[in-house]
Structure 1
Amino acid sequence: MCGIWALFGSDECLSVQCTCAMKIAHRGPDAFRFENVNGFTNCCFGFHRLAIVDQLYGMQPLRIKKFPYLWLCYNGEIYNHHTLQKTFDFDFQTKVDGEVLLHLYDRFGIKKMASLLDGVFAFILLDTANRKVHLGRDTYGVRPLFKLLTDDGFLAVCSEAKGLTNISHSMSEEVSIEPFLPGHIEVFDLKLSGKVQSLQMEPFHCCTQEPTHALYDPLQTLPAGLDEETVKSNIRSLLENAVRKRLMAHRRIGCGLDSSLIAALLVKLAKEEKLPYKIQTFSIGSEDSPDILAARKVAAHIGSEHHEVNFTAEEGIRAVEEVIFHLETYDITTIRASVGMFLVSKHIREKTDSVVIFSGEGSDELTQGYIYFHKAGECAQLLSPMFFCFCLRILFCRKV
């Protein structure tokens, strides 16, 4: 998790505006950078880094010699960057997964670039040669992105709304801060003044479509009757591959025990990939609660290095204010479900060296696992607003 922030066409002193970017410093504890855009003195990028991949050359905004006119700030992980590199014979200059965005954009343009990505991401891509600003966000909104756009063409973008609330600009009327729509790209024309004009906002993918990057057999080519064992084998293979492709981090990986299946697969695959450390697992609850006892049994069975975090009701209540600050929502269910995650994430940051934590969050929502979902009229209606609540919990555990 990192924090991205950018301004285009600011009327105020950028050194003053940049203090707003420090409100998301918790997203990137390893390093930060502010950088003006050459030729556009009222345009600026801000970046707070949590180093996950390529700790040496992964600082942003990302720029490479082959495309000196492209500036990239992104938050996320691109799981298929190696596959894309080999498929299209890209000459990478770094080990950063996000570099593939620059090569894809140069060859195919912004919409196809976004549709070919297998991952979770939010990005700001500036093309100074063609004077275009591009924004994009993954299909389910796992990575956050907010924007503020005034009627005179001032654009501010940030990973969290709090980084935009105190932005100063002369405005004829109050402007709202809006979450960027998941599965969409937006293209802006960048004027010589640094101001922008929105040219197009369109989806590149939605939850009812097959992803462009996925390899699958069309329904017409499948045999008339698939036996049950084949179906089971396919499901297991898909789940294993989903866990395996997320082992790309260069920092230590751990796992919650909210999904014992994912934890077991992670321990198994970590051994196969010869990761040089033991997988740490984490559980939280009141002492001797059923969940704590069950997690203890699972950890012993899979052979993980297990950590238990106990907390009282009073500690949970004291954490609520900070939970709301990070979530940026007053949704009761989301807050209630996030208190435990906040406390265990805080323990992981302060007491261990695990940086990337696998979680089962969102799986029940994606696959309609809760029984009350079965009464819903249309599954797609449940998936489209996930970024308003369920995805917040996923983001949240990476911040504290």
Structure 2
Amino acid sequence: MCGIWAIFGSDEDVSHQCSSCLQIAHRGPDAFRIENVNHFKNCCFGFHRLAIVDDLYGMQPMRVRSLPHLWLCYNGEIYNYKTTQKQFDFKYLTECDGESILHLYNRGGIEFAAKHLDGVFAFILLDVKERKVFIGRDTFGVRPCFRLLTDDGFLAVCSEAKGLMGLSHSLTDHSADIVPFPPGHYETYDLAPSGKVTFNERGRFHKIGDAPMYKTPIETLDDNDIFKNIRDTLTSAVKKRLMSQRRIGCMLSGGLDSSLVSALVCKLLKEEGRDYPLQTFSTGMEGSPDLLAAKKVAESIGSEHHEIIFTPEEGISVLDELIFHLESYDITTIRASVGMYLISKYITKETDSVVIFSGEGADEVAQGYVYFHKSPSPEEADEESHRLCNDLYMFDVLRADRTTSAHGLELRVPFLDHKFVNTFMSLPADVRRPKDGVEKFLIRKAFSTMNLLPEEILWRPKEAFSDGVSSHKKSWYEVLQEHIEEQVNDDQLELAPKVFPFNPPRTKEAYYYRQIFEKHFPGKASWVPYYWMPRWSDATDPSARTLKHYKA
């Protein structure tokens, strides 16, 4: 994970504003650079680096001798950078995957470049010859990006909103606001001689389920064997994400998604002859179901396994700093982030793993949430799956990015691979629904012949996080409710719609999180447009624990 930051058209001395860039230092602990743009008034790039590839030439903003008019700051991984090099006969001067963005842009423009990228990314590209600034973000928003644009021509971009907060406080244009940059889009801005910026256009280069333009190792699929196609595309997704010069590890909850990813990573690392064992990491309170299941998986695949057991007090103690990193007050996002945050903290402190795989995205793509059992029709289930995928950047993907980047780790999410998603979501809607009372049936069936996982893990039902990490004595959900009951009274909750008119909290837990959020990010409630909740049910809480199917 890296942190990118840039400003264009500032009326203030750039040196007075650079301190805001330090707010995202956690994303890149290996190196830091602030660099002014030559001959451009008050235009500046900032970069915090987490070194994954090319120690020598990986610092940013990136410039190469063959394209001296281009400046690039990006956070992400471009998995097909060698493929595009061969396809277009590019002459790379570094081993950095991001260099492909410069050559693709130079070849065909910004939309051409974005459409040919297979990876996860947020980038800021400056063309000083054409006097244009470009911003782009990957299809699912796996890599974060926020921007601030004022009517008087000031543009600021940052990986996290907190890196722009100081800038917004100093602006006289109070109509300007910090907003998340939309995934799957690019934007173009004109840069005047004064340094001021004018918005030019926005375009969408990729939609959920679209066939990508770029070439991949799997060119053809078997029309008669959907299970083989699922196996091949997911295996390819994991394989391409092994691109790293740092040690690889896996989050392992013991559920289907993380277990399958961990098993594939372990298998492929051995095939590549990596000279270290795969490290896997699980978390929970003493005696939790997730810890027990993860241990079975680790023993089965032969990983070097680490258990991070947390107490109720430890979980509660990180809520304030967690919400600061998440930049969210969504209930389920915060609940489910505690374990991942504590795992990431442990990994950084106690191990040398830096690139971390996880199972995010499978539930959205493959209709894995328990409430999909209640979908009225295949068409409505398909529509809901697309909606979840489009909004991932505000919920599960946000959680996974911020909890890992808070501790200087790099996240990899193979279930959100373009080729896999396109393959899976192009299947008929009726076959993607839960089958025989089992969610993600197609994925389980596809890998049932490979002997990668124990049967009880491969067919393990979906766990709500608050139950999966819970102690056999008391659930994490109950721990939170008891703590919050002492922090928020009935009168406060009754006045919540007046105190917080946008997205008013309806429970004491929601009120508690919102108070912490407003302390760190006053007036920024619109970053969370709605609370994540199950569909097609009368659920009063976002956890699957409230659903009848889950209780059964």
Q: Closer, same or farther in 2 for the Cα pair 1:235/1:322, shift >3 Å? A: same
Letter in 2 for 1:359: S
Note the C-alpha offset of 1:147.
0.5
Instruction: Find the counterpart in structure 1 of residue 500 from structure 2.
Output: none
Correspondence 1:336-347 to 2 at 5 A: 336-347=335-346
Distance in 2 between residues matched to 1:386 and 1:158, nearest whole Å: 19
Q: After superposing the two structures, state which structure 1 stretch, 374-383 or 315-324, moved more.
A: 374-383
Instruction: Find the counterpart in structure 1 of residue 155 from structure 2.
Output: 155
Instruction: Find the counterpart in structure 1 of residue 370 from structure 2.
Output: 371
Q: Closer, same or farther in 2 for the Cα pair 1:217/1:96, shift >3 Å? A: closer
Distance in 2 between residues matched to 1:3 and 1:166, nearest whole Å: 16
Instruction: From 252, 256, 277, give the equivalent of 1:257.
Output: 252
For the 8 Å contact 1:139–1:205, the answer to whether it is kept is: yes
Distance in 1 between residues matched to 2:293 and 2:371, nearest whole Å: 25
Q: Closer, same or farther in 2 for the Cα pair 1:373/1:195, shift >3 Å? A: farther
Residue by residue over 1:49-76, the C-alpha shift from the partner in whole angstroms, topping out at 9 and shown as x without a partner, is 0111112210000000000110000000
Count of aligned pairs = 393
Note the C-alpha offset of 1:37.
0.1
Distance in 1 between residues matched to 2:281 and 2:173, nearest whole Å: 51
Instruction: Find the counterpart in structure 1 of residue 361 from structure 2.
Output: 362
Note the C-alpha offset of 1:397.
3.3
Instruction: Find the counterpart in structure 2 of residue 238 from structure 1.
Output: 233
Correspondence 1:18-29 to 2 at 5 A: 18-29=18-29
Residue 333 of structure 2 corresponds to residue 334 of structure 1: yes
SS in 1 for 2:166: coil
Note the C-alpha offset of 1:382.
2.3
Note the C-alpha offset of 1:277.
1.1
Correspondence 1:109-188 to 2 at 5 A: 109-167=109-167, 169-188=170-189
SS in 2 for 1:151: coil
Q: Closer, same or farther in 2 for the Cα pair 1:382/1:9, shift >3 Å? A: same
Letter in 1 for 2:236: N
Note the C-alpha offset of 1:239.
1.1
For the 8 Å contact 2:141–2:393, the answer to whether it is kept is: yes
Letter in 1 for 2:32: F
SS in 2 for 1:121: strand
Q: Closer, same or farther in 2 for the Cα pair 1:286/1:20, shift >3 Å? A: same
Q: After superposing the two structures, state which structure 1 stretch, 170-179 or 272-281, moved more.
A: 170-179
Note the C-alpha offset of 1:381.
2.1
Q: Closer, same or farther in 2 for the Cα pair 1:92/1:305, shift >3 Å? A: same
For the 8 Å contact 1:3–1:159, the answer to whether it is kept is: yes
Instruction: Find the counterpart in structure 1 of residue 507 from structure 2.
Output: none
Distance in 1 between residues matched to 2:220 and 2:344, nearest whole Å: 42
Residue by residue over 1:325-354, the C-alpha shift from the partner in whole angstroms, topping out at 9 and shown as x without a partner, is 110000010000000000000000000000
Correspondence 1:386-397 to 2 at 5 A: 386-397=392-403
Distance in 2 between residues matched to 1:52 and 1:309, nearest whole Å: 25
Distance in 1 between residues matched to 2:173 and 2:102, nearest whole Å: 37
Letter in 1 for 2:235: E
Note the C-alpha offset of 1:169.
4.7
SS in 2 for 1:60: coil
For the 8 Å contact 1:254–1:357, the answer to whether it is kept is: yes
Instruction: Find the counterpart in structure 2 of residue 381 from structure 1.
Output: 387
Note the C-alpha offset of 1:173.
2.9
Distance in 1 between residues matched to 2:55 and 2:219, nearest whole Å: 38
For the 8 Å contact 1:10–1:169, the answer to whether it is kept is: no
Distance in 1 between residues matched to 2:368 and 2:166, nearest whole Å: 40
Instruction: Find the counterpart in structure 2 of residue 86 from structure 1.
Output: 86
Which stretches in structure 1 are left out of the alignment for 5+ residues?
none
Residue by residue over 1:297-328, the C-alpha shift from the partner in whole angstroms, topping out at 9 and shown as x without a partner, is 11111111111111001100001111101100
Q: After superposing the two structures, state which structure 1 stretch, 371-380 or 121-130, moved more.
A: 371-380
Q: Closer, same or farther in 2 for the Cα pair 1:156/1:57, shift >3 Å? A: same
Q: Closer, same or farther in 2 for the Cα pair 1:69/1:387, shift >3 Å? A: same
Note the C-alpha offset of 1:108.
1.0
Instruction: Find the counterpart in structure 2 of residue 299 from structure 1.
Output: 298
**Structure 1 residue runs of 4 or more that deviate by more than 4 Å after TM superposition:** 214-219
Residue 189 of structure 2 corresponds to residue 194 of structure 1: no
For the 8 Å contact 2:340–2:400, the answer to whether it is kept is: no
Instruction: Find the counterpart in structure 2 of residue 323 from structure 1.
Output: 322
Residue by residue over 1:195-243, the C-alpha shift from the partner in whole angstroms, topping out at 9 and shown as x without a partner, is 1111101101110422222557799xx76xx2xxx32222111111010
Distance in 1 between residues matched to 2:90 and 2:113, nearest whole Å: 14
Instruction: Find the counterpart in structure 2 of residue 313 from structure 1.
Output: 312
Distance in 1 between residues matched to 2:264 and 2:391, nearest whole Å: 29
TM-score (ref. length: structure 1): 0.95
The CA RMSD over aligned residues, in Å, is 1.6
Letter in 2 for 1:360: G
Q: Closer, same or farther in 2 for the Cα pair 1:303/1:172, shift >3 Å? A: closer
For the 8 Å contact 1:5–1:21, the answer to whether it is kept is: yes
SS in 1 for 2:281: strand
For the 8 Å contact 2:134–2:186, the answer to whether it is kept is: yes
Instruction: Find the counterpart in structure 2 of residue 275 from structure 1.
Output: 274
Distance in 2 between residues matched to 1:359 and 1:144, nearest whole Å: 17
Instruction: Find the counterpart in structure 2 of residue 205 from structure 1.
Output: 206
Residue by residue over 1:278-301, the C-alpha shift from the partner in whole angstroms, topping out at 9 and shown as x without a partner, is 110111111222211211111111
For the 8 Å contact 1:72–1:124, the answer to whether it is kept is: yes
Instruction: Find the counterpart in structure 1 of residue 3 from structure 2.
Output: 3
Note the C-alpha offset of 1:383.
1.8
For the 8 Å contact 2:41–2:194, the answer to whether it is kept is: no
For the 8 Å contact 1:77–1:97, the answer to whether it is kept is: yes
Q: Which has the higher helix share?
A: 2
Letter in 1 for 2:190: D
TM-score (ref. length: structure 2): 0.69
Distance in 1 between residues matched to 2:265 and 2:129, nearest whole Å: 44
Larger-gyration structure (1/2) = 2
